[in-house]
Amino acid sequence: MSSYSNPLDDPAADPFEVAARAASDIARLTGVPQHDIALTLGSGWGKAADLLGETTTTIPATEVTGFSRPALAGHVGSLRSILTPGGTRVLVIGARTHYYEGHGVRRVVHSVRTAAATGAKTMVLTNGAGGIKETWTPGTPVLISDHINLTADSPLEGATFIDLTDLYSSRLRDLARTIDPSLDEGVYCQFRGPHYETPAEVQMAKTIGGHIVGMSTALEAIAAREAGMEVLGFSLITNLAAGIQTTPLSHQEVLEAGQAAEPVISDLLARVIGTL
């Protein structure tokens, strides 16, 4: 028996083998041998899965190998298997481990590697984030067109040279815009957090080409690409980024913007996933 409470904390563990074990836990607990699409729910997106179809099983994330308890209220700690009306199997991951929790990048991307091991070919990543474009009011969903990874870390180990061109699939973004032609898009900057950015950091992000600031997604997208999945990314703008909005940022504000946007983004997500 390993002395590690999470097998991914053992430096000698093979993270892909742990993900394969997690995928077999999911197959056993859901009775569904393979999933087609995986969806990670970020802040504000918690209820967005409800319209996707019939939830056939909900599993506490702690019953799946390598998953950690969620660090935050507002981050739901469960995995769900949903059958869409079109017959697609969606694995909904409501248990994100953030980089700022300090458990290492293997734990951060474990859900993505597990999704790939369940057979998912498409990874839909969602988050709540700060907006740099002043035209985005809180509650606006935007497509992620690319990212700037400011964590100075990578989920890839060793000399694993992976191409990240078109990481956030232009094909899937085009599909999403067939559902909502008004969807804007932007470059997501992943900061380490958990503090929000300073106004100066937000200006830096803007200067280097960023439009969205947040604390997740980029590392997960890289792992998804490594695993051969096609990635679709959505940010819900829960607030304007520090210094763009003149009032202080608060987690409460982020949660409230998410709740207010729920009906709109749930409908959007269900319709987009229905076309995938």
Catalytically active residues, by annotation: 197
Helix (H, G, I), strand (E, B) or coil at 96: coil
- Residue count at the site for ligand HPA (CB under 6 A)? 13
Asked if 176 interacts with ligand HPA (CB under 6 A), we say no
Asked if 99 interacts with ligand HPA (CB under 6 A), we say no
DSSP at 61: G
- Radius of gyration over alpha carbons of the chain, in Å? 17
Asked if 255 interacts with ligand HPA (CB under 6 A), we say no
Binding residue for ligand HPA, selected from 65, 68, 145, 239, defined by CB under 6 A? 239
* Strand stretches in 184-229, DSSP E: 184-190, 212-214
Binding residue for ligand HPA, selected from 241, 265, 270, 276, defined by CB under 6 A? 241
Shortest distance (Å) from residue 138 CB to ligand HPA: 9
Q: Which residue is nearest to ligand HPA (CB)?
A: 130
Based on CB atoms, which residue is closest to ligand HPA, 235 or 266? 235
Asked if 59 interacts with ligand HPA (CB under 6 A), we say no
Separation CA 67–CA 46 (nearest Å): 18
Window 102 to 161, contacts with ligand HPA (CB under 6 A): 128-130
Asked if 238 interacts with ligand HPA (CB under 6 A), we say yes
Binding residue for ligand HPA, selected from 215, 219, 224, 232, defined by CB under 6 A? 215
Separation CA 234–CA 214 (nearest Å): 12
Asked if 262 interacts with ligand HPA (CB under 6 A), we say no
Q: 223, 113 in Cβ contact below 8 A? A: yes
Count of H-run helices and E-run strands, the chain? 7, 9
Shortest distance (Å) from residue 238 CB to ligand HPA: 5
Residue 116 sits at φ, ψ, to 5 deg, of -65, -40
Asked if 196 interacts with ligand HPA (CB under 6 A), we say yes
Shortest distance (Å) from residue 208 CB to ligand HPA: 16
Amino acid 95 reads A
Asked if 249 interacts with ligand HPA (CB under 6 A), we say yes
Q: Largest Cα–Cα distance of the chain, in whole Å? A: 54
Based on CB atoms, which residue is closest to ligand HPA, 1 or 152? 152
Q: How far lies 250's CA from each of 213, 218, 239, in Å?
A: 15, 23, 9
State the Cα angle at 58 between 173 and 71, rounded to 5°: 75
Separation CA 61–CA 96 (nearest Å): 10
Binding residue for ligand HPA, selected from 197, 201, 220, 226, defined by CB under 6 A? 197
Residues in contact with ligand HPA by the rule CB under 6 A: 128-130, 196-197, 213-215, 238-239, 241, 249, 254
